[in-house]
Amino acid sequence: MARFSVALLFSLILGAQAAHAKKTVEPVYQDPFDLAAGGASLTRASKEGTLFSNPALLHLASGFIRWIGSSTTLTINKESFNTAKKFLPKSAGGTGGASSTGSPSTDSSSNNSSTANSSAEIVDDVLKNPVRLGWGEAISLLTRRVGGAFFSRFELDLGAHEYGPAGLPQIELQTESYNGFALGAPVPTPLSWLIFGVTAKYIMASEEYVSADLVDQTQISKYSDPKMAKSLYSQNSGVGLDLAALLFFQGSSVDLTMAAKADDIGDTQMAGDSSGPKQLKQVNSAGLGLTLHTGADAIHLSADYRDIGNAYKQPLFKRIYAGTKVTLRQHLGVAAGFYQGYPSIGAEVDLFFLRLALTAYTRELGDHPGVAPRHMYMFSLSTGF
Amino acid sequence: MPWLSKLTSLSFLVMLVSCSGDHNLWDCWSGFKRIKCDKPTAEQIAQNHLNNRDFSAAIEVLTPAIADDPENYSRYPLLAAAYAGRGGIDILGIARKQFGSSDSALTSFSAFLPTPNTVDAETYQQDLSDVASAVATLRAVPSNILTDSEAFSYSASAILQLTIYQSSYSIMFLNQFIISPTSGTITVDQLANMTPEQAEQVLTNLLAVGDLPQVSGNSNMQSAVSTIVTTINEQPGATTKDKIAAYVATQNK
């Protein structure tokens, strides 16, 4: 069974036919701390996330250089993490193997049986628990006047169901890959409380979705067509432009921030061999933020309403993001919020040249809450200042 | 300033609430009651029940949904899967097993179906009835949809399921007469309870598998069942019951 499943997975990876692509209303790149605060980043974004969320925020930096450095993020869903832990040896921090009874066995047949049971359990675990893994990298230089970032992120999602949407066992593979370069700048106005922002971006992207009924071997074998494989590793590319406006009213202890943002002005056209995305639609969003602060500590409450015109025909819960960030002495931060309606939480520690962040959030892949949630852990390591 | 302390409290409240669980605010069952919830479709709810192996709950969701909109045929394969699951068909086991013409389809198939020795007689009849309902549900889909057409995403799955369920029903119907409830072995002695009409019914059921349209994925299964029919017809005997008895004797060797 394990061999069958592995063969099937390779068939899918080697040759994938895109059924549909999924584009979300979110920025193409997000900082983990912003995600922890429910993904509400239009009025307050972190590091390179600023370029993608709201370039006007660059103007609010206290020094000339806001950030220079690189960030690496790793994401894994809770279920994969638990499954991996389950099958790790106890000495490696796992719970000791799926079918381990905790008593040593010297019988080789017993060991073989245990191995077979473990393999079956791995497959059954994959059937019950989807696997989602991701990786991200960004190198950026952000100043008060201008900012630029190279970014790359990739996420893979493998899910299997004993009963798929048509009633038969089904396996689904989804990939999401966004890479490119963004250059953004704030555009101050004579009014101190009004700042515009602009980001130009070159994006290479692919979003793939393939599925197959496990019963139908002919359906699976057709995925080994090399033409189909090309779609999985090739990417579409395009140049886009984002515009933003920020209304910033600063007080001695309270700041009020309002933001308006238009991503992918006039729709960003994507060209290439990948089945998607062919176009990034223009998304208009609005955000509201309130910051209570002393000289060194701050509490920031924010909410974003994304894709006001609903260009992507997304349900409401996928367009509202809200959360709060608490930063202490500019070195410690905790954040929590509601990302796509699900609770999110995270923390970051800034050790001058090293920044560590850990975020837990849930992403809904379905079109209704609870249809295909992915409970994600994201770990980020940034070096820079 | 009292409003400042309220805002501070609010931000910590957001943190506390977000730490309280992983339910979506828009969830109809466990979300925030003061906002209009976002309910999954009947198909999505039913699929969730199916994967939790709560087949009766899936049937309860889909039956009224189909009654309300009988021409939405995408729901029929899910309802059939729910009946088949409740009837004890191990669909994943069948998915894992690749049927070839060299296999003994009778014994191979039976491994994924309830047999008279694994459940009591009453349960077996209920299982048989559920599998019959699965077949009937898919038979209600118009024949022009039950083709390998790309116009309907569920067509190929529906015909593949119908092949599986029709085959399963045929073999379960036969097994009740040939598998000993006590030992679980195939035995000719059990056939004493079979009437000539039931013997004809066995063949009719099996032949119905071959009559289904051939689509991607169901040909191996059709061949396997067809082999049973051919082998039965090749057996010596004056009546269908005699031929089945002779066939069962070969399976018992």
Structure-block tokens of residue B209: 């598998």
pLDDT of residue A106: 43
Residues of chain A positioned with their CB less than 8 A from the CB of B80: 167
Domains of chain B by residue range: 102-251
Residues 19-48 of B with CB under 8 A from A: 19-28, 31, 37-41, 43-44, 47-48
pLDDT of residue A166: 87
CB-CB under 8 Å, B217 with A166: no
Residues of chain B positioned with their CB less than 8 A from the CB of A253: 4
Q: What mean pLDDT comes out for the span B99-113?
A: 67
- How far apart, in whole angstroms, are the C-alpha atoms of residue A76 and residue A84? 11
Residues of chain A positioned with their CB less than 8 A from the CB of B37: 369
Find the distance separating the first CA and the last CA of chain A, reported in whole Å.
51
pLDDT of residue A20: 38
* Residue B205 confidence (pLDDT) above 50: yes
pLDDT of residue A88: 61
The continuous run of DSSP H or E covering A328 comes out as strand A320-328
Q: Which residues pair with A358 in a beta bridge?
A: A347, A379
- How far apart, in whole angstroms, are the C-alpha atoms of residue B203 and residue B216? 25
Residues of chain B positioned with their CB less than 8 A from the CB of A334: 15
Residue of B nearest to A78 (CA): B22
Residues of chain A positioned with their CB less than 8 A from the CB of B168: none
Distance from CA of A324 to the nearest CA of B (A): 6
Residues 192-251 of B with CB under 8 A from A: 216-217, 220
CB-CB under 8 Å, A4 with B158: no
CB-CB under 8 Å, A163 with B40: no
The backbone torsions φ and ψ at residue A241, rounded to the nearest 5 degrees and listed phi first, read -135, 135
Domains of chain A by residue range: 2-384
Q: Around Cβ A249, how many Cβ atoms within 10 Å?
A: 11
Q: HSE on the CB side for A326, CA within 13 Å?
A: 16
pLDDT of residue B14: 65
Burial B33-55 (b: 16+ CB within 10 A, else e): eeeebbebbbbbbbbbbbeeebb
pLDDT of residue B130: 96
pLDDT of residue B122: 92
Distance from CA of A346 to the nearest CA of B (A): 10
Counting one residue from A and one from B, how many pairs have CB atoms under 8 Å apart? Answer: 165
Mutate to test the interface with A, among B10, B11, B94 (most CBs of A within 10 A): B11
pLDDT tens for each residue of B40-77: 999 999 999 999 999 999 999 999 999 999 999 999 99
Q: Do residues A325 and A357 lie in contact, with contact meaning Cβ atoms separated by under 8 Å? A: no
Q: Which residues pair with A383 in a beta bridge?
A: A70, A354
- How far apart, in whole angstroms, are the C-alpha atoms of residue B161 and residue B169? 12
Highest mean pLDDT among A229-238, B40-49, B207-216, B217-226: B40-49
Q: Using DSSP, how many helices (H) and how many strands (E) does chain A show?
A: 7, 16
CB-CB under 8 Å, B216 with A342: no
The backbone torsions φ and ψ at residue A15, rounded to the nearest 5 degrees and listed phi first, read -145, 110
User: What's chain B's length in residues?
Assistant: 253
Q: Is B164 on the interface with A (CB under 8 A)?
A: yes
Mutate to test the interface with B, among A163, A211, A338 (most CBs of B within 10 A): A163
Q: Report CA A120 to chain centroid distance, whole Å.
A: 31
pLDDT of residue B137: 96
Distance from CA of B95 to the nearest CA of A (A): 4
The continuous run of DSSP H or E covering A183 comes out as strand A170-188
Residues of chain A positioned with their CB less than 8 A from the CB of B38: 315-317, 368-369
* Residue B36 confidence (pLDDT) above 70: yes
Q: Is B111 on the interface with A (CB under 8 A)?
A: no
In CATH, what is the architecture of B102-251? Answer: Up-down Bundle (1.20)
CB-CB under 8 Å, B24 with A165: no
Residues of chain A positioned with their CB less than 8 A from the CB of B154: 165-166
- How far apart, in whole angstroms, are the C-alpha atoms of residue A35 and residue A336? 9
List the single residue in B38, B40, B78 with the smallest CB-CB distance to A167: B78
* Residue B103 confidence (pLDDT) above 60: no
pLDDT of residue A8: 42
When the pLDDT of each residue in chain B is averaged and rounded to a whole number, the result is 84
* Residue B106 confidence (pLDDT) above 50: yes
Q: Which residues of chain A have pLDDT under 50?
A: 1-21, 97-110, 116
- How far apart, in whole angstroms, are the C-alpha atoms of residue A105 and residue A97? 14
Classified by CATH at the fold level, domain A2-384 comes out as Porin (2.40.160)
Distance from CA of A16 to the nearest CA of B (A): 17
Among B124, B117, B115, B224, CA closest to B167: B224
- Look up residue B179 and give its DSSP letter: B
pLDDT, greater one: B71 or B155: B71
Q: Do residues A137 and A153 lie in contact, with contact meaning Cβ atoms separated by under 8 Å? A: yes
* Residue B163 confidence (pLDDT) above 50: yes
What percentage of chain B carries pLDDT values higher than 90? Answer: 32
Distance from CA of B67 to the nearest CA of A (A): 19
Mutate to test the interface with A, among B4, B9, B13, B24 (most CBs of A within 10 A): B24
pLDDT of residue A32: 92
CB-CB under 8 Å, A219 with B39: no
